């Protein structure tokens, strides 16, 4: 879970300090946003490839080395002399860092009883909620006062602590099922897995149309200050923390499908509220809070359902989910960048809501039809 905090901060950091990156590196906000877009492309390609290349490596070693690379590359980002150097460092960072979240979920599935798998995976994914709840506001606060280099340095220090903790506490000798070509074929033939991957892609595409440029959008639409933007990020993350804590408590009794419907509905409500209230800071911030309730919990439910749909290949299916998650980030941030560059600021919310509405429709369509089906899907 601590490793997911570092991973989440590493992935999301530019969104919390686009203005500082733009000013410090002498590039436009749109160009600074491409750090997220290009990074997401590396992530979506790297997730299945690295899952295949590393499937036979012992998990404690794999996860610890991955976090160490994230730590070192965040430290290097703090020292990057220009935009191109920072972009190259970020691509290296994420090419390796893509391993962490899916392998952490797969490892969690190995060390707990089946009946606790859902709540445990949701707990591990809590790190992403904390990255948004605590990490992003702190990144915005530090960058607005001390520059983006100080923010990267803070992430590196957090990563160092996490490396030590993980090596100390995670049991050794953990191995998942080896991933080979047959694994991908079997997963591709599973219609439930294909639908779940489509849900993740649509959810993330919609969110990142707005999320990538949330700070500049709030500044342009409402005149929000850096501190007000930081408050919006904090609301997003705190509510994300609350949402995933609720999901962790109810998923074992409700089942992953019902829990997914609830939180995808909240996600749509929040994104639609952003679109409808554009220009009014208080209403937009309230919408971000509702959106936050669903952002991490929906993806954790996706992971729970994928693990349950094919338990022997959990690391492979979750890595595919991570891959399409970053496909969604790339698609959403690219669309959001185009809308922002053309000053179509109000349109972003409506485009985002359309993506999330499509995701909710597919979630509802995957309702288990029988107890046997429920066992497979949940």
Where exactly are the structural domains of the chain?
A: 2-377
Q: How far is CA 297 from CA 67, 237, 239, 246, 314, in A?
A: 23, 12, 10, 9, 18
pLDDT of the residue at 373: 45
pLDDT higher than threshold 80 for residue 182: no
Q: How far is CA 99 from CA 77, 164, 194, 249, in A?
A: 20, 18, 21, 27
pLDDT of the residue at 338: 92
Q: How far apart are CA 11 and CA 39, in angstroms?
A: 8
Most confident by average pLDDT, 55-64, 71-80, 120-129, 325-334? 71-80
Give mean pLDDT, residues 288-312: 85
Q: How far is CA 11 from CA 100, 182, 360, in A?
A: 12, 31, 25
Q: pTM here?
A: 0.77
pLDDT digits (tens, 9 = 90+) for 219-260: 999 999 988 998 998 898 889 889 988 988 898 889 889 999
pLDDT of the residue at 200: 93
Answer yes or no: are the C-beta atoms of 281 and 229 closer than 8 Å. no
Q: Which CATH architecture has domain 2-377?
A: Up-down Bundle (1.20)
pLDDT of the residue at 55: 67
pLDDT of the residue at 181: 65
pLDDT higher than threshold 50 for residue 290: yes
Reference 219, options 129, 284, 133; nearest CA is 284
Answer yes or no: are the C-beta atoms of 310 and 32 closer than 8 Å. no
pLDDT higher than threshold 60 for residue 184: yes
% of the chain residues with pLDDT over 70? 92
pLDDT of the residue at 48: 66
Q: Which residue has the higher pLDDT, 311 or 262?
A: 262
**CB-based burial of residue 113 (10 Å sphere; 0-12 exposed, 13-18 middle, 19+ buried)?**
exposed
pLDDT higher than threshold 50 for residue 90: yes
Answer yes or no: are the C-beta atoms of 39 and 11 closer than 8 Å. yes
- The region of weakest confidence among 190-204, 242-256, 282-296, 339-353 is 242-256
């Amino acid at each position: 879970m601590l490793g997911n905090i570092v991973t989440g901060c590493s992935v999301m950091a530019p969104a919390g300090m686009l203005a500082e990156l733009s000013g410090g590196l002498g590039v436009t906000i749109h160009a600074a946003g491409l750090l997220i877009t290009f990074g997401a492309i590396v992530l979506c390609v790297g997730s299945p490839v690295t899952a295949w290349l590393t499937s036979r490596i012992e998990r404690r070693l794999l996860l610890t080395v991955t976090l160490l690379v994230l730590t070192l590359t965040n430290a290097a980002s703090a020292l990057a002399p220009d935009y191109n150097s920072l972009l190259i460092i970020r691509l290296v960072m994420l090419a390796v860092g893509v391993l962490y979240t899916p392998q952490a979920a797969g490892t969690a599935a190995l060390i707990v009883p089946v009946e606790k798998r859902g709540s445990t995976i949701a707990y591990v994914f809590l790190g992403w909620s904390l990255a948004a709840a605590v990490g992003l506001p702190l990144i915005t606060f530090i960058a607005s006062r001390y520059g983006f280099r100080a923010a990267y340095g803070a992430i590196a220090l957090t990563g160092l602590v996490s490396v030590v903790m993980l090596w100390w506490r995670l049991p050794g000798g953990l191995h998942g099922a080896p991933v080979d070509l047959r694994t991908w074929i079997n997963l591709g033939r599973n219609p439930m897995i294909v639908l779940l991957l489509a849900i993740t892609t649509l959810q993330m595409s919609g969110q990142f149309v707005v999320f990538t440029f949330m700070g500049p959008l709030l500044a342009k639409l409402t005149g929000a200050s850096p501190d007000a933007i930081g408050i919006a990020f904090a609301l997003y993350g705190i509510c994300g923390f609350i949402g995933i804590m609720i999901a962790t408590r109810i998923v074992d009794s409700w089942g992953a499908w019902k829990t997914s419907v609830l939180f995808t509905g909240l996600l749509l409500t929040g994104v639609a509220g952003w679109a409808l209230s554009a220009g009014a800071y208080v209403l937009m911030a309230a919408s971000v809070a509702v959106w936050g309730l669903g952002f991490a919990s929906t993806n954790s439910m996706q992971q729970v359902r994928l693990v349950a749909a094919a338990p022997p290949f959990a690391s492979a299916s979750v890595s595919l989910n991570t891959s399409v998650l970053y496909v969604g980030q790339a698609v959403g941030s690219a669309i959001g960048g185009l809308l922002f560059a053309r000053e179509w600021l109000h349109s972003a919310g409506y485009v985002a809501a359309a993506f999330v509405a499509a995701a909710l429709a597919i979630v509802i369509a995957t309702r288990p039809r029988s107890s046997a089906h429920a066992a497979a899907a949940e």
